Structure 1
Amino acid sequence: MKILVCISGASGVNLGLKLYNLIPSEHERFLVLSENAKTVFEKEENIFLDNDIAAAPASGSFGIDITFVVPCSMNTLAKIALGITDNLITRSAQVAIKEKKKLIIAPREMPFSEIYLEHMLKLSRFQNVIIAPPVLAYYNNPKSIEDIEMFMIGKWFDLAGIENNLFKRWK
């Protein structure tokens, strides 16, 4: 599978990078960084900058199977919900929607305003779009931030159909 991870400038950019790094090696992976997120990371392989609207993930013919937006800022969420494609992240999300490919969005804000909730509801009505904020659980008995992150990433992988043993499952 071809997997695209888009990281917007919301709090939690390290969680998006960790998700990207944990994608099993049998999958081809690509990373898009927003202008704000790129200040956090150094350049790595298969990384596109958000202002490169002509990069491969901007086209449905490139064949991305799963797109993650982790974390997703409320600005990016609104643009995706309204069909605004002014950067590579929003364009890639629109490609996933139009191509009926899985799009997993992890909104990072609290509390959610009515406007944000309306955008999430609108997007969740598309069969291929999953709204999955980074929400922790206690049944896996987390002992560290790492445990909490592994739980969230494992749940996102579950939603994407990526096998994993990143967290203790419910018994």
Structure 2
Amino acid sequence: MRLVVAVTGASGVELGLKLVSKLPERVTGYLILSENARRVLEHESHRVYNDDDIAAPVASGSFPSDAMIVVPCSMNTLAKIACGIADNLVTRTAAVMLKENRPLLLAPREMPLGTIALENMLKLSRLGVTIAPPVPGYYSGHATVEEMEDFMIGKWFDLLGIEHTLYKRWRIEEL
């Protein structure tokens, strides 16, 4: 599987990069760091593209990517995607995912959510985009922040069809 991972904004950059580090070997990650994310830190593995590299392979419909996740997804990036603004590599690649009907998952990091953001999310949801904020599952019994992050990443992997063992699954006992 080829997965495009875009990291935008500054808050939550570590969670996006942790997701990349947890990708199984059978998944090839293509990492896009926005300028603000790049300022926070650099990542040494996977292919990393500058957000201003609009000619990068992942920006083309002929590039065989299977899915894209934007984590964290700033409200600015979410709004641009909702309005069809493709002025950088993240938003251009997202536009390609939409036009090619490929899975696109956005993990917005804002709270509280304003009316405009909610309307943008609704619009994107109606277009088939999965909106999955980084929400901890308290029922999973995690004891550390790392386990909570693994749970959220595992939920995103579930939505993208990536097998993992990042959290203990709910088990229905046989009667």
TM-score calculated relative to the size of structure 2: 0.94
CA offset digits 1:93-146 (Å, max 9, x no partner): 11110011100100000000000000000000123x100000011111111110
Residue 103 of structure 1 pairs with residue 104 of structure 2:
yes
**Contact 1:107/1:134 (8 A) holds in 2:** yes
Q: Which residue of 1 aligns with 2:23?
A: 23
**Contact 2:10/2:40 (8 A) holds in 1:** no
Q: Which residue of 2 aligns with 1:80?
A: 81
Counterpart residue identity of residue 26, structure 1 = R
Change (3 A) 1:43 1:132: closer
CA offset digits 1:63-99 (Å, max 9, x no partner): 1111000000000000000000010000111111001
How far, CA to CA, are the matches of 2:2 and 2:48 in structure 1?
14
CA offset digits 1:5-54 (Å, max 9, x no partner): 00001410000001111111112211000000001222524000101111
Name stretches of at least 5 consecutive residues in structure 1 with no aligned partner: none
Name the Cα RMSD after superposition. 1.0
**Contact 2:6/2:71 (8 A) holds in 1:** yes
Q: Which residue of 2 aligns with 1:66?
A: 67
| Partner secondary structure for residue 158 of structure 1 | helix
Deviation at 1:168, TM superposition (A): 1.6
Q: Which residue of 1 aligns with 2:123?
A: 122
Q: Which residue of 2 aligns with 1:42?
A: 42
How far, CA to CA, are the matches of 2:108 and 2:10 in structure 1?
9
Q: Which residue of 1 aligns with 2:134?
A: 134
Name stretches of at least 5 consecutive residues in structure 2 with no aligned partner: none
- Choose 1 or 2 for highest CA Rg: 2
**Contact 2:68/2:97 (8 A) holds in 1:** yes
How far, CA to CA, are the matches of 2:139 and 2:125 in structure 1?
26
How far, CA to CA, are the matches of 2:23 and 2:97 in structure 1?
19
Q: How many residues matched?
A: 170
Identity %: 58
**139-148 or 39-48: bigger deviation:** 39-48
